[in-house]
Amino acid sequence: MSLARTRAIALRGIEGTVVDVEASLTEGTPGLHLIGLPDAARNQIRDRVRAAIINSDQHFPHRYIAVSLFPISLPKHGSGFDLAIAVAVLAASGAIPAEACANAALIGELCLDGRVRSVPGVLPAVLAAVDAGATVVVVPQANAAEASLVPGVDVIDVASLNTLIAQLRGVPPTDDGGNAQDSNHHATVSRLPGHLDLAQVRGQASGREAIEVAAAGGHHLALVGPVRTGATMLAERLPGLLPDLDHDTALEVTALYSLAGDLPPDGPLMARPPFQAPHHTLSRAAVLGGSTSRAVRPGAVSLAHRGVLFLEDVPEFAVRTLESLVRPLEDGTVTVSGNGLIVTFPARTIAVLTARPCPCGARTAQACTCPPGVRERYLARLPRSLLDRVAIKNRLAPASPAELRRDLASVESSRHVADRVQAARDRAARRLAGTPWRTNAEIPGPELRRRFAPPKEATAVLDAALTGGRLTVRGLDQVLRLAWTLADLAGSTAPSPEDITTAVHMWNSFDEPPGS
């Protein structure tokens, strides 16, 4: 047979599209001609496929070989098409039964010796294949664990092209293809030690309350305080207050890490909220996402989707990076362009921003060694537009001896606080049933004011705060969202005047002295 078809998957972000791969052998000048791939990738793929077939002890057809990847206009990046192209060529030449591979989706990169290397994005590719009706997918052996997370599909994992050829022929493989586990994953998933507990934070009652409210409502949070006041400890313990991810969300988060090439080797389902703490020296692309020579990759803000994004010493980040975070923190998505693609990644995270009051981080103003005016200019480096998206602003002060003594008598563990967070989220979920929003922080301002307006007595407190200058029109929606979260934590059906007062303080506390 001189014509054969296989299927591959082209990824655009975490969304995938099935690509029909057709190979035809005809008379003409011998050679492999690829149609529908970027010019820069054609020569590389052609050379890899030809070498892999020959080094797998298979005959490479001495004919004019045309391989077309449909739709032609669909952008295709990466090396994951190698396996589908090689199998299509072999099927067209009669080396393997064409019907054995016609309905399978094949994903994998070929080494010159015929080994099948792992590629990033196997999980979203398999999800796309199943959505398109595929019942069989072939993946690299190193990606088998993540591929098996998808129900309703038979996963065939292969270490080499020879192994796959033998399976398609229905005969035992002649070898295992060597070690194909040298995958391109980086295993850089940010995982916090399991022993982090809120009870380990001494003092800082207002800080503990702030992260509880942030966890319950999905609100962004800023903590400002001198060194050794516990801001980093609080931020690192926030993920422990969040509930487990549901199955669909866990798949979405795992797909993002798969696309970034950051899954551990065994590719487990990420059932816990992720934690990302990018350093301030990282590039804008590392934080927001960017393109490589092969594909568009998610950045830290997307890898923190449904988890926590921790920006430590936030004034040290490049201003352009901070300004670019404004839209993701508000909308829960980030748009990245590159390689001729415009890709939107999910980025619904809880951002925790921490900062010292000045570069030296002295515990008191009297001990500060910074020149006059530096303290004010340091925090002024934060874009106002970014702070407007941060609902909770908290100033931390060194814990007093009295506060430390109180902690010895009664201090709550993360488990107890997490129970309250779960109960508050359950109340919000019942109220938001039938809407696209999961937490109070996600509710758009117009809908918040129209459908979830507080009682009149609470509205009076809002009016007084607006009139007295403690609240701006821009901050009104943030205060309403916070008030609903406080009501959920208290088990109330609607925000009370006290909830509004507390919410105004949380929103405006940068303008108030610590401990006020």
3-state SS track over 279-305: CCCCCHHHHHEEECCCCEEECHHHHCC
Residue carrying structure tokens 């008191």: 364
Taking phi first (over 0 means left), then psi (-120 to 50 degrees means alpha), and beta for anything else, what does residue 114 get? Answer: left
pLDDT at position 487: 98
- In this prediction the pTM is 0.90
**Cross-strand pairs, 366:** none
Rounded-to-integer distance, Cα 115 and Cα 180, Å: 6
Strands (E) located in 2-115: 3-12, 15-26, 31-35, 64-70, 104-106, 109-110
> Domain 3-169 - what CATH class?
alpha beta
Structure token digits, residue 294: 């092969």
Domain definitions of the chain by residue range = 3-169, 198-409
Rounded-to-integer distance, Cα 244 and Cα 325, Å: 26
At residue 160, φ and ψ (nearest 5 deg) are: -150, 165
Rounded-to-integer distance, Cα 55 and Cα 430, Å: 60
Structure token digits, residue 329: 């923190």
Rounded-to-integer distance, Cα 93 and Cα 85, Å: 12
- At residue 416, the 3 state secondary structure works out as helix
Burial (0-12, 13-18, 19+ Cβ within 10 Å), 327: middle
**Cross-strand pairs, 118:** none
**Dihedral sign for Cα atoms in the order 216, 221, 223, 224:** negative
pLDDT at position 182: 45
- At residue 137, the 3 state secondary structure works out as strand
Amino acid at 373: G
Per-residue model confidence as pLDDT tens for the chain (516 residues): 589 999 999 999 999 999 999 999 999 999 999 999 987 789 999 999 999 999 999 999 999 999 999 999 998 888 899 999 999 999 999 999 999 888 899 999 999 999 999 999 999 999 999 999 999 999 999 999 999 999 999 999 999 999 999 999 988 776 555 444 444 444 344 455 567 899 888 888 899 999 999 999 999 999 999 988 899 999 999 999 999 999 999 999 999 999 998 887 655 799 999 999 999 999 999 999 998 767 789 999 999 999 999 999 999 999 999 999 999 999 999 999 877 788 999 999 999 999 998 888 777 777 788 887 787 788 889 999 999 999 999 999 888 777 777 776 677 899 999 999 999 999 999 999 999 999 999 999 999 989 999 998 888 888 888 888 888 878 999 999 999 999 999 999 999 999 999 999 999 876 554 444
Rounded-to-integer distance, Cα 473 and Cα 466, Å: 7
* DSSP state at residue 159: S
pLDDT at position 241: 97
**Cross-strand pairs, 158:** 140
Query: Mutual orientation of helices 456-467 and 497-508 as an angle, nearest 10°?
Result: 30
Q: Write down the number of H helices and E strands in the chain.
A: 21, 18
User: Taking a C-beta distance cutoff of 8 angstroms, is the pair 475, 431 a contact?
Assistant: no
**Does the fold of domain 198-409 match that of domain 3-169?**
no
**Cα first-last separation, the chain:** 82
**Half-sphere exposure of residue 239, counting CA atoms within 13 Å on the CB side?**
25
**Cross-strand pairs, 66:** 24, 33
Amino acid at 303: L
Rounded-to-integer distance, Cα 503 and Cα 182, Å: 52
Fold of 198-409: Rossmann fold (3.40.50)
- At residue 35, the 3 state secondary structure works out as strand
Rounded-to-integer distance, Cα 298 and Cα 309, Å: 14
In this structure, the dihedral spanned by the alpha carbons of residues 89, 113, 71 and 136, taken in order and rounded to 10 degrees, is 80
Rounded-to-integer distance, Cα 426 and Cα 438, Å: 10
- At residue 22, the 3 state secondary structure works out as strand
Rounded-to-integer distance, Cα 296 and Cα 261, Å: 12
**Cross-strand pairs, 346:** 333
Taking phi first (over 0 means left), then psi (-120 to 50 degrees means alpha), and beta for anything else, what does residue 491 get? Answer: left
Query: SS3 letters for 318-374?
Result: CHHHHHHCHHHHHHCEEEEEECCEEEEEECCCEEEEEECCCCCCCCCCCCCCCCCCH
Query: Mutual orientation of helices 473-490 and 414-431 as an angle, nearest 10°?
Result: 110
User: Taking a C-beta distance cutoff of 8 angstroms, is the pair 370, 360 a contact?
Assistant: yes
